Homo-oligomer: A and B are copies of this chain.
Amino acid sequence: MAKIDDIMKMTGFSRTAVSKALNDKDDISEATKKIIRDAARELNYIPNINARNLRSKNNNVIALIISSPSAESEKTNTLYPLLMGVNKAMAAQQYELALYIIDSKDQAAKSYVAFCRERNVKGAILVGIKTDDDYIKQLKNSEIPYVLIDVDIRGTDHMNVVKIDDVTAAFEATEHLIDHNHKNIAFINGGKTATVAIDRWEGYQKALAEHGLPLQHDYVKIADFSEEKAYAVTKALFKQHPELTAVFCASDLMALGTMKALDDLELDVPRDVSVVGFDDIPLASYVKPALTTINQSFFEKGNKAADLIASLLKESQDKKIITLPHKLMRRNSVAHNKRSA
């Protein structure tokens, strides 16, 4: 394991000269740079990142904190493209990635801030956080710049966020159903605390209101983004409210649960009931009928978040909210409602 002293001995230059030459500083002549570089190559020199980061606090490590990944994430597969997006941006900008996956059940888990501080993390990207999460407090007190994905904490808008316009997306999804003559539209939401859940709930309400449709609280259920719960909720819902002709689910996975429940109830999708999902996970286009849903790119989310944190580190700037595009994917789970109101 060659170190800088070895190549210093070999070339006769000082430690400093070697270091500077290898880092391509401009107060070393090209001639000696070449000598030093050649020696380094010959000795198979690789800098020790610990020593470097210890000395120069300019270490370029950015943390990706993934909070409480549910069992569902194996099926939804949103985190993987997100990770790829982050990784690509980081690699392009010479940042190191420190990955920290927090199992919500693990009480002994180190705090986010401890993780970042002990390895001198310069910035962090947080994903999967909830508005009532304990981490929010830690964040505010920490001096580490961070970017949140999909979280936009109401009231405190002094944060960097990458998200889509969930309100509008949910509005469009609901409106899509209304446009197909549906009047009794159920809404199965993921929760109450996740920002995306709050936003989608708002979009649903807006769409109803704008089209003069009454908001029936009985039509709104929570299924914790779980396929199984959505299945159960849907069954109960349609037994009690056979007048329903459409369901908007705040996630594709829940939509799958809903479709399965409808199938078991011998209600045909889309002939009897129309379904719209959210996320456009790979599964959405493969099931039959193919699920109409809101597409968003998790790769882009990760990528943009990494770019944002990188630019934040280069120059301090105002807090920023990046809104990525979404798109309604019209597939085969929505049909025109022929039932009379």
Chain A interface (Cβ < 8 Å from any Cβ of B): 1, 46-51, 53-54, 59, 69, 73-75, 77, 79-81, 83-84, 87-88, 91, 97, 99, 101, 103, 106, 114, 117-120, 256, 282-283, 286-288, 299
Contacts and interface: CB of A to CB of B under 8 A. Distances in A.
Instruction: Select the residue from A46, A50, A106, A114 with max chain B CB neighbours within 10 A.
Output: A50
Contacts of A118: 46-49
Contact of A69 (B51, B84, B283, B287): B84
B120 A49 contact: yes
Given A50-B120, A286-B256, A287-B287, A73 B80 contact: yes
B288 A114 contact: no
Chain A interface mostly helix, strand, loop or mixed? helix
Copies in the complex: 2
A46 B116 CA distance: 10
29 contacts: A46-B117, A49-B118, A49-B120, A50-B51, A50-B53, A50-B54, A50-B59, A51-B54, A54-B54, A69-B84, A73-B80, A74-B77, A74-B81, A74-B299, A75-B77, A75-B282, A77-B80, A79-B80, A80-B83, A83-B83, A91-B101, A91-B103, A99-B99, A282-B283, A283-B283, A283-B286, A286-B286, A287-B288, A288-B288
A282 B1 contact: no
A77 B82 CA distance: 12
Contacts of A286: 256, 283, 286-287
Nearest to A284: B286
A20 to B, nearest CB: 18
Contact of A77 (B77, B87, B103, B287): B77
Contacts of A81: 74
Contacts of A120: 48-50
Closest 7 CB pairs of A and B: A77-B77, A50-B54, A80-B80, A50-B53, A75-B282, A49-B119, A46-B117
A337 to B, nearest CB: 25
Contacts of A101: 84, 87, 91
A285 to B, nearest CB: 10
A77 to B, nearest CB: 4
A304 to B, nearest CB: 17
Contacts of A288: 287-288
Contacts of A77: 74-75, 77, 80, 282
A89 to B, nearest CB: 12
Contacts of A80: 73-74, 77, 79-80, 83
A31 to B, nearest CB: 26
A84 B66 CA distance: 11
A114 B256 CA distance: 45
Instruction: Select the residue from A49, A59, A84 with max chain B CB neighbours within 10 A.
Output: A49
A288 B332 CA distance: 15
A138 to B, nearest CB: 12
Instruction: Select the residue from A47, A54, A77 with max chain B CB neighbours within 10 A.
Output: A77
Nearest to A121: B49
A59 B54 CA distance: 14
